[in-house]
Amino acid sequence: LCVSAGDFLWLCHLMQYAMTICIVRFQPKDVTVAVPAGALVTEAIHQAGLHVNMPCGGQGRCGRCAVLVEQNGANPGVRRRSSLRLSAADVAQGYALACQSVIEGDGSIVIPPQEKIERRLTSDRTAAAISLPYTYDPGQDQPLRAFFVALSPPTMDDQTDDWARLQRALRQEHGLERVTIGLDGLRKLGRTLRAAEWQVTAIVETDTWDDPDGAARVVDVLAGDRTERLLGAAIDIGTTSNVVYLVDLIRGEVVAEAVDYNGQIVRGEDVISRIIYASKNGNGAGPPDDQRNGLGELQALVLETLNRLLLRAARRVKAEPEEIYRVTAAANSTMTHLFLGLPPESIRLAPFITAVNQPPPVQAGELGLSVHPQASVDCLPGVASYVGADISAGVFSSGLADTDKLTLFLDVGTNGETVLGNQEWMLACACSAGPAFEGAGVGHGMRASAGAIEEVWINSATREPTWRVIGDQPPQGICGSGLISLLAELFITGVLDRSGNFNRQLGTPRLRVGSHGPEYVVAWAAESAHGQDIVLTEVDIDNLLRAKAAIYAGYTVLCQRVGVDPAEVEQVLIGGAFGQYLNVEKAVQIGLLPDLPWERFRFLGNTSARGAALALLSREARQRIAAAAQQMTYLELSADNSFYENFISALFLPHTAMERFPSVAAVMNGQTTTPQGEGVAG
Binding residues for a second copy, rule: CB under 8 A, are 154-156, 158-164, 178, 180-183, 186-187, 189-191, 194, 210-211, 213-215, 285, 288, 340-343, 345-346, 350-360, 362, 366-367, 384-385, 634, 636, 639
Decide whether 16 or 180 has the Cβ nearer to a second copy.
180
CA 444 to chain centre: 21
Complex with a second copy: residue 339 or 661, whichever CB lies closer: 339
- State the minimum distance, in angstroms, from the CB of residue 557 to a second copy: 16
Residue 240 and residue 416: Cα distance in Å, rounded?
Answer: 12
Cβ nearer to a second copy, comparing 105 with 154: 154
Q: Cα–Cα distance between 239 and 37 in angstroms, integer?
A: 48
613 near 130, Cβ under 8 Å?
Answer: yes
CB of 328 to a second copy, least distance (A): 17
Cα separations in angstroms, 424 against 46, 231, 421: 44, 35, 7
Angle of CA points 481, 233, 328, to nearest 5°: 90
Alpha carbon 281 to chain centroid distance? 35
In whole angstroms, the minimum distance from the beta carbon of 165 to a second copy comes to 8
Nearer to a second copy, 188 or 530 (CB): 188
Backbone angles phi, psi at 7, to 5 degrees: -60, -35
What is the closest distance, in whole angstroms, from the C-beta atom of residue 183 to a second copy in the complex? 5
CB nearer to a second copy: give 122 or 354. 354
Question: Which CB, 13 or 191, lies closer to a second copy?
Answer: 191
Contact by Cβ (8 Å): 42, 65: yes
Q: How far is the CB of 180 from a second copy (least distance, A)?
A: 5
Q: How far apart are CA 594 and CA 569, in angstroms?
A: 10
- Listed residue (196, 106, 107, 181) closest to 149, CA to CA: 196
Select 542 or 640, whichever has its Cβ closest to a second copy. 640
Q: Least distance from C-beta 631 to a second copy, angstroms?
A: 16
Nearer to a second copy, 347 or 522 (CB): 347
DSSP for 348-378, written as a single string: HSTT---S-SSPPPEEHHHHT-SS-TT-EEE
* Amino acid residing at 429: C
Q: Do residues 97 and 111 touch, judged by C-beta distance below 8 A?
A: no
The distance of closest approach from Cβ of residue 158 to a second copy in the complex, given in angstroms and rounded to an integer, is 8
Residue 655 three-state SS: coil
Closest CA relative to residue 336, chosen from 424, 409, 242: 242
CB 121, CB 257: distance < 8 Å: yes
**Are 384 and 634 a contacting pair, CB within 8 Å?**
yes
Least distance from a second copy to the Cβ atom of residue 209, Å: 12
49 vs 190 by CB, closer to a second copy: 190
Closest to a second copy by CB, 193 vs 488, is: 193
CB of 356 to a second copy, least distance (A): 4
Considering beta carbons, is residue 374 or 432 the nearer one to a second copy?
Answer: 374
Q: What is the DSSP string of 15-67?
A: HHHHH-EEEEEEETTTEEEEEETT-BHHHHHHHTT-----TT-SSS-S-TTEE
Residue 194, H or E segment: helix 183-195
Instruction: Identify which of residues 366 and 570 has a Cβ nearer to a second copy in the complex.
Output: 366
Tell me the CB-side half-sphere exposure of residue 244, using CA atoms within 13 A: 31
Q: How far is the CB of 644 from a second copy (least distance, A)?
A: 17
| CA–CA gap between residue 389 and residue 391 (Å, rounded) | 5
Backbone φ and ψ for 605, nearest 5 degrees, come out as 70, -145
Query: Smallest distance from the beta carbon of 54 to a second copy, in angstroms?
Result: 42
Instruction: Quote the least distance from Cβ 360 to a second copy, whole Å.
Output: 5
